[in-house]
Amino acid sequence: MANLRLKRLRRRLWRGLWTALLLGALLTLLANRWVINSTDAYVYTNWALLPENDVGLVLGTSPYTRGGKANPHFYGRIEAAVQLYQIGKIKHIIVSGANPDETYNEPRQMRKELVKAGIPENVITMDFAGLRTLDSVARAKDVFGLNRLTIITQEYHCYRAVFIGKKLDMRVAAYAAPGPGPSFQPYAREVAARVKAVLDLFVFFTRPKFLGEPQNIDIQRPGSST
């Protein structure tokens, strides 16, 4: 009798486990399709079709891979930001990322590379509280007072960033920076991050970890004095 009860319990546990796995897979699929399908029209791979916005937001990533080599995702974003500024698609650049300690500072590294590429220092604003994509996009609106924005990152990341911006009632477009495309691990992480973005925005109503006082951005118009 005890063995029979144990077998029934095991069956229930297995059924519950499989049900949970199937529901999780379905949620992941639906969330990812929602994020991509609802933002695809706002993600541009051709700069000629990209609408002009005063400000471009470069999302942070490490300048180095785990193996210590130059990170093509980082330098692809820098290259894209430089290109958009030079052709007049953006007039100011926010570099937003993490800076957990003195040895790791994404905004400073991005600013350094932009200046090296010829971007004037006075058109670059550093956001040190871009701990994740939601924080970077939300702070662009709540701290820097922006309702229009061009987001600069790799294509697979663009969809989630635009999805967040649209939910925050921002008029956003995203430019897909060059890059090798995600390997399995980053892609799997992005798939999970899209699910988390849906939950953060529609279930948990997550806000940025740090906000602080509003900051004005001085947009340098062509021909204006600096």
**Model pLDDT for residues 129-152, shown as the tens digit of each residue:** 999 999 999 999 999 999 999 999
Identify the band that residue 102 occupies on the pLDDT scale cut at 50, 70 and 90.
confident
Q: Which domain holds residue 69?
A: 42-204
Residue 174 predicted with pLDDT over 80: yes
Instruction: Answer yes or no: is 189 within a domain.
Output: yes
Residue whose tokens read 């210590």? 68
Residue 8 predicted with pLDDT over 60: yes
Number of separate domains in the chain: 1
pLDDT for residue 48: 96
Instruction: Answer yes or no: is 151 within a domain.
Output: yes
What is residue 126's three-state secondary structure? strand
Residue whose tokens read 């969809």? 159
Residue 170 predicted with pLDDT over 90: yes
In terms of Cα–Cα distance, which of 160, 172, 108, 109 is closest to 133?
160
**CATH code of the domain covering residue 131:** 3.40.50.620
Average pLDDT along the chain: 92
Identify the band that residue 226 occupies on the pLDDT scale cut at 50, 70 and 90.
very low
pLDDT for residue 83: 98
Identify the band that residue 184 occupies on the pLDDT scale cut at 50, 70 and 90.
low
Phi, psi of 211 (to 5 degrees): -120, -75
Task: Answer with the residue of higher pLDDT: 107 or 184.
Answer: 107
Instruction: Answer yes or no: is 217 within a domain.
Output: no
Identify the band that residue 223 occupies on the pLDDT scale cut at 50, 70 and 90.
low
Strand 55-59 to 43-44 pairing: unpaired
Instruction: Answer yes or no: is 146 within a domain.
Output: yes
Q: How many residues does the chain have?
A: 226
pLDDT for residue 179: 87
